[in-house]
């Protein structure tokens, strides 16, 4: 009995041993993989040394998910920039430009399928579809998360994972937001270094906040917004890389409830530099709504009059409609002689809040310009040209034979030969463009000669006027002023613009782009209008609202207004109206300047008749406008604030 029992035990023991061995060997690859991940985590952690537990855990989790070959924590130093740009040159992602012509600057060429934001692949994953609203693509957050986990699984194989601590807004601003972008693109790292406060000092700030070493509490204190990005192009051992890795399947995803961003498949602009549109607009608009401030697609410009008084305006134009140009405006000679000056605070995004002084204050959350290159020239925007003389990244522009950049609309004659944005030989008569229409420069904001002394003031700048506008060949006059705040919100809500390369759809067709936020508002557009209307309650001194249009044309397709620096004339009227210092005339659509109220000194050949054409009110055009606005309102019907419906009714009544 005993021996058979012992034998039985022995067999059982052997079987158990065998089973364990079998289990271990079966799981071996898994265990090895796990160990490898642990090694790279250990590598990551040894370099990071972060005391921020949540950050450490997130980076560990993402390392395990994306399985990069190595992890690098970015410190934002010059040495890091030098190393990454040199590496990108070696890999063929960057071309170093001629250091004598364009020192410390690089050209990148993307693939033709990755040249702009992808609005049809941009998702707002709020709990319910109506929280995202009819102007956004909604997806169920749990389902989207599951889809993305599959996409991100192993997506960084063969690549380096970079961890980028960054801050949108001056670190001491009450609105500042710290984000951590994880990316497998060195292009993203060096662009983020220009576009945001980036590096060790931001990580330290986050750790100090989390450890309670900083008193000043702001919203989001001690926390970071996780921004996960991958180009979605893992490399098998021995597989050669391409110069612009990306994936045909793209996802730009926002989780407003948990304040997370995940972007997959694109390496370009707003798709990949996640501090910009994803954080500073789509996620920030959600935070702003909750905390009673505003995250807007606006430039901020300062104007000093001859008496030395400074007025700041924030201006919302849709993408590629001239924000950078207006933000860097140089007044015409007669204005300069009289002592007018302009300064730039920002060219794309403004965060605005009701300051304790009763005014709306604004900061620019960015530290660089990601500006449209084609059309930028000394003749149209000298300050942009001076901002891009060094330390820049150019994407999808042409390369000249002497190692400099070129694009359509640059000053002087086109080069006799260049390499175009696709890497092919180009000559002026080859029938193709040299630079892509959405080619861009990334330039440090501090390099703009008119950078405002307060551009990094944590307290922001006080805003006296808000201007809306778009590209309208007809209907919209050069300028008019809203009657009051709610009429101003109506002007913003009904803004329209003809489509450009940056937008999807038929080029030339008018699309409604409320407050220039159509692709960037991270929640229901009707609620966004309600938020705008509500903000009035928190302000003692209200900014004035205006609508402008530089793009009106005559029957022959010629601009009715010279634009660019001459826009100063319109700005002057707006500023004077803000201070009650210029006359205005009440019309059906708003207050307008009479010819006598408008300065045309030095504007050769521009007559009263030209002014009348640029300012003309055409009743039948406005009737059509009203119908078109009505269609847009129907799309937003169930969340549309009644104030705006009444504003439209009042406009209809005035047109009779």
Active site amino acids: 321
Query: If you search the block for the tokens 């498949």, which residue do you land on?
Result: 265
How far apart are CB 438 and ligand SPV at their closest, in Å?
A: 8
Which of residues 378, 538, 559, 595 is near ligand GTP by CB under 6 A?
Answer: 559
Q: How many residues does this entry show for the chain?
A: 656
The answer to whether residue 187 forms part of the interface with ligand SPV (CB under 6 A) is: no
CA gap 101, 390 in Å, rounded: 8
Q: How far is CA 95 from the centre of its chain?
A: 25
The answer to whether residue 489 forms part of the interface with ligand GTP (CB under 6 A) is: no
Q: Would you call 642 exposed, middle or buried from its count of C-beta atoms within 10 A (0-12, 13-18, 19+)? A: exposed
Residues 196, 444: contact at Cβ < 8 Å?
A: no
Q: For residue 70, how many other CB atoms are within 10 A of its CB?
A: 15
Query: If you search the block for the tokens 């926002």, which residue do you land on?
Result: 254
Of 112-120, 557-565, 609-617, 623-631, which segment contacts ligand GTP by CB under 6 A? 557-565
Which of residues 167, 283, 320, 443 is near ligand GTP by CB under 6 A?
Answer: 320
The answer to whether residue 426 forms part of the interface with ligand GTP (CB under 6 A) is: no
How far apart are CB 550 and ligand GTP at their closest, in Å?
A: 4
Of 58-66, 108-116, 370-378, 571-579, which segment contacts ligand GTP by CB under 6 A? 370-378
In this chain, which residue has its C-beta nearest to ligand SPV?
270
Among Mn ion, ligand GTP, ligand SPV, none, partner that 375 touches (CB below 5 to 8 angstroms by kind)? ligand GTP
| CB neighbour list of residue 522: distance below 8 Å, 6 or more residues apart | 124, 136, 254, 256, 281, 282, 283, 284, 285, 286
CA gap 313, 463 in Å, rounded: 5
The site for Mn ion, by CB under 5 A, has a size of 2
Which lies closer to ligand SPV via its Cβ, residue 269 or residue 322? Answer: 269
Both tokens of 421, joined, read 């944005």
Which lies closer to ligand SPV via its Cβ, residue 270 or residue 374? Answer: 270
Among ligand GTP, Mn ion, ligand SPV, none, partner that 269 touches (CB below 5 to 8 angstroms by kind)? ligand SPV
Both tokens of 526, joined, read 């009707």
The answer to whether residue 282 forms part of the interface with ligand SPV (CB under 6 A) is: no
Write the binding mask 108 to 127 for ligand SPV: x where contact by CB under 6 A, - elsewhere.
---------x----------
Of 14-22, 321-329, 442-450, 541-549, which segment contacts ligand GTP by CB under 6 A? 321-329
Which lies closer to ligand SPV via its Cβ, residue 419 or residue 502? Answer: 502
Of 70-78, 116-124, 201-209, 313-321, which segment contacts ligand GTP by CB under 6 A? 313-321
Which lies closer to ligand SPV via its Cβ, residue 71 or residue 435? Answer: 435
Among ligand GTP, Mn ion, ligand SPV, none, partner that 276 touches (CB below 5 to 8 angstroms by kind)? ligand SPV
How far apart are CB 221 and ligand SPV at their closest, in Å?
A: 27
Write the binding mask 288 to 327 for ligand SPV: x where contact by CB under 6 A, - elsewhere.
-------------------------------x--------
Q: How open is the CA angle 195-197-198, to the nearest 5 degrees?
A: 95
Subset of 600-619 contacting ligand SPV (CB under 6 A): none
The answer to whether residue 502 forms part of the interface with ligand SPV (CB under 6 A) is: yes
Considering Cα of 648, then 649, then 650, then 651, what sign does the dihedral take? positive
What does residue 347 show for φ and ψ, rounded to 5 degrees? Answer: -120, 0
How far apart are CB 521 and Mn ion at their closest, in Å?
A: 13
Considering Cα of 617, then 533, then 497, then 109, what sign does the dihedral take? positive
The answer to whether residue 498 forms part of the interface with ligand GTP (CB under 6 A) is: no
Both tokens of 168, joined, read 């949108």
Q: Which three-class secondary structure state does DSSP give residue 98?
A: coil
Of 269-277, 380-388, 410-418, 562-570, which segment contacts ligand SPV by CB under 6 A? 269-277
The answer to whether residue 522 forms part of the interface with ligand SPV (CB under 6 A) is: no
Which lies closer to ligand SPV via its Cβ, residue 498 or residue 625? Answer: 498
Residues 614, 592: contact at Cβ < 8 Å?
A: no
Among ligand SPV, Mn ion, ligand GTP, none, partner that 391 touches (CB below 5 to 8 angstroms by kind)? none
Of 60-68, 241-249, 356-364, 560-568, which segment contacts ligand GTP by CB under 6 A? 560-568
Count the alpha carbons within 13 Å of 164 in the hemisphere toward its beta carbon.
34
In this chain, which residue has its C-beta nearest to ligand GTP?
563
Straight-line distance from the first to the last Cα atom of the chain, in angstroms, rounded to the nearest whole number: 110
* Range 42-53 burial, b when 16+ CB lie within 10 A, else e: eebbeebebebe
The site for ligand GTP, by CB under 6 A, has a size of 20
Of 92-100, 314-322, 390-398, 461-469, which segment contacts ligand GTP by CB under 6 A? 314-322
Which lies closer to ligand GTP via its Cβ, residue 455 or residue 485? Answer: 455
CA gap 128, 263 in Å, rounded: 21
Across the strands, what pairs with 341? 304
CA gap 83, 554 in Å, rounded: 53
The site for ligand SPV, by CB under 6 A, has a size of 9
Q: Which three-class secondary structure state does DSSP give residue 304?
A: strand
The answer to whether residue 314 forms part of the interface with ligand GTP (CB under 6 A) is: no
By C-alpha distance, which of 484, 477, 487, 641 is closest to 553? 477
Which lies closer to ligand SPV via its Cβ, residue 197 or residue 323? Answer: 323
Subset of 314-343 contacting Mn ion (CB under 5 A): 319
| CB neighbour list of residue 203: distance below 8 Å, 6 or more residues apart | 50, 52, 73, 165
Both tokens of 140, joined, read 């169920």
CA gap 408, 572 in Å, rounded: 31
Which of residues 302, 354, 371, 465 is near ligand GTP by CB under 6 A?
Answer: 371
CA gap 96, 106 in Å, rounded: 5
Of 268-276, 375-383, 465-473, 632-640, which segment contacts ligand SPV by CB under 6 A? 268-276
The answer to whether residue 348 forms part of the interface with ligand GTP (CB under 6 A) is: yes
Q: Which three-class secondary structure state does DSSP give residue 611?
A: helix
- Residue 441 belongs to what H/E stretch? strand 440-444
**516 phi-psi bin (left φ>0, alpha ψ -120 to 50, beta other):** left
Among ligand GTP, ligand SPV, Mn ion, none, partner that 187 touches (CB below 5 to 8 angstroms by kind)? none
Which lies closer to ligand SPV via its Cβ, residue 383 or residue 577? Answer: 383
Write the binding mask 338 to 367 for Mn ion: x where contact by CB under 5 A, - elsewhere.
----------x-------------------
Residues 587, 615: contact at Cβ < 8 Å?
A: no
Residues 151, 264: contact at Cβ < 8 Å?
A: yes
Which lies closer to ligand SPV via its Cβ, residue 112 or residue 339? Answer: 112
Which residues form the interface with ligand GTP (CB under 6 A)? 317, 319-325, 347-348, 371-372, 375, 502, 550-551, 559, 563-564, 567
Which residues form the interface with ligand SPV (CB under 6 A)? 117, 269-270, 276-277, 319, 348, 370, 502
Which residues form the interface with Mn ion (CB under 5 A)? 319, 348
């Amino acid at each position: 009995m005993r021996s058979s029992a012992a034998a039985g035990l022995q067999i059982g023991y052997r079987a158990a041993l065998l089973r364990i061995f079998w289990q271990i060997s079966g799981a071996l690859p898994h265990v090895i993989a796990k160990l490898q991940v642990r090694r790279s985590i250990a590598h990551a952690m040894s370099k990071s040394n972060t005391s921020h537990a949540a950050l450490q855990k997130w980076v560990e989790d993402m390392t395990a998910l994306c399985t990069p070959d190595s992890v690098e924590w970015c410190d934002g130093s010059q040495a890091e920039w030098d190393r990454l740009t040199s590496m990108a040159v070696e890999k063929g992602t960057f071309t170093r430009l001629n250091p004598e012509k364009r020192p410390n600057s690089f050209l990148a060429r993307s693939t033709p399928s990755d040249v702009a934001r992808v609005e049809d692949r941009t998702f707002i994953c709020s709990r319910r579809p109506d929280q995202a609203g009819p102007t956004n693509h909604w997806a169920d957050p749990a389902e989207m998360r599951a889809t993305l986990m599959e996409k991100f699984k192993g997506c960084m194989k063969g690549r380096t994972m970079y961890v980028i601590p960054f801050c949108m807004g001056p670190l001491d601003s009450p609105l500042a937001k710290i984000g951590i972008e994880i990316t497998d693109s060195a292009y993203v790292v060096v662009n983020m270094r220009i576009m945001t406060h980036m590096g060790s000092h931001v990580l330290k700030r986050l750790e100090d906040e989390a450890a309670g070493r900083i008193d000043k509490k702001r919203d989001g204190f001690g926390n970071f917004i996780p921004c996960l990005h991958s180009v979605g192009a893992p490399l098998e051992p021995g597989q050669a890389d391409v110069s612009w890795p990306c994936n045909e399947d793209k996802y730009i995803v926002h989780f407003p409830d948990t304040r997370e961003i995940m972007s997959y498949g694109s390496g370009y602009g707003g798709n990949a530099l996640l501090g910009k549109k994803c954080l500073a607009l789509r996620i920030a608009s959600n935070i702003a709504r909750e905390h009673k401030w505003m995250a807007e697609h606006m430039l901020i410009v300062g104007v000093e009059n001859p008496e030395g008084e400074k007025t700041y305006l924030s201006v919302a134009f849709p993408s590629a409609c001239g924000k950078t140009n207006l933000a860097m405006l140089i007044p015409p000679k007669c204005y300069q002689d009289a002592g007018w000056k302009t300064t730039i605070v920002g060219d794309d995004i403004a965060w605005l809040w009701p300051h304790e002084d009763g005014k709306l204050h604004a900061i620019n959350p960015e530290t660089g310009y990601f500006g449209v290159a084609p059309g930028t020239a000394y003749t149209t925007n000298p300050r942009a040209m001076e901002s891009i003389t060094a330390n820049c990244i150019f994407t999808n522009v042409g390369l000249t034979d002497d190692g400099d950049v070129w694009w359509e609309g640059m000053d002087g004659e086109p080069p006799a030969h260049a390499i175009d944005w696709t890497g092919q030989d180009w000559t002026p008569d080859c029938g193709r463009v040299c630079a892509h229409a959405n080619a861009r420069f990334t330039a440090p904001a501090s390099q703009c000669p008119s950078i405002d002394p307060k551009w990094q003031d944590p307290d922001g700048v006080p805003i006296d006027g808000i201007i809306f506008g778009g590209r309208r060949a007809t209907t919209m006059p050069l300028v008019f002023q809203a009657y009051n705040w709610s009429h101003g919100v109506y002007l913003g809500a009904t803004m329209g613009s003809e489509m450009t390369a940056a937008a999807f759809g038929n080029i030339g067709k008018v699309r409604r782009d409320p407050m220039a936020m159509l692709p960037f508002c991270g929640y229901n557009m009707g609620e966004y209008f309600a938020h705008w209307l509500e903000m009035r309650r928190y302000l003692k001194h209200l900014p004035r609202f205006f609508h402008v249009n530089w793009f009106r044309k005559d029957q022959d397709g010629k601009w009715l207004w010279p634009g660019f620096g001459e826009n100063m004339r319109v700005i002057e009227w707006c500023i004077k109206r803000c201070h009650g210092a210029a006359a205005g005339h009440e019309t059906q659509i708003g207050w307008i300047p009479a010819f006598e109220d408008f300065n045309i000194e030095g504007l050769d050949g521009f007559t009263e008749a030209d002014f009348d054409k640029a300012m003309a009110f055409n009743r039948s055009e406005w009737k059509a406008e009203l119908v078109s606005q009505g269609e847009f309102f129907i799309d937003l019907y169930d969340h549309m604030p009644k104030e705006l419906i009444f504003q439209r009714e009042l406009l209809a009544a005035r047109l009779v």
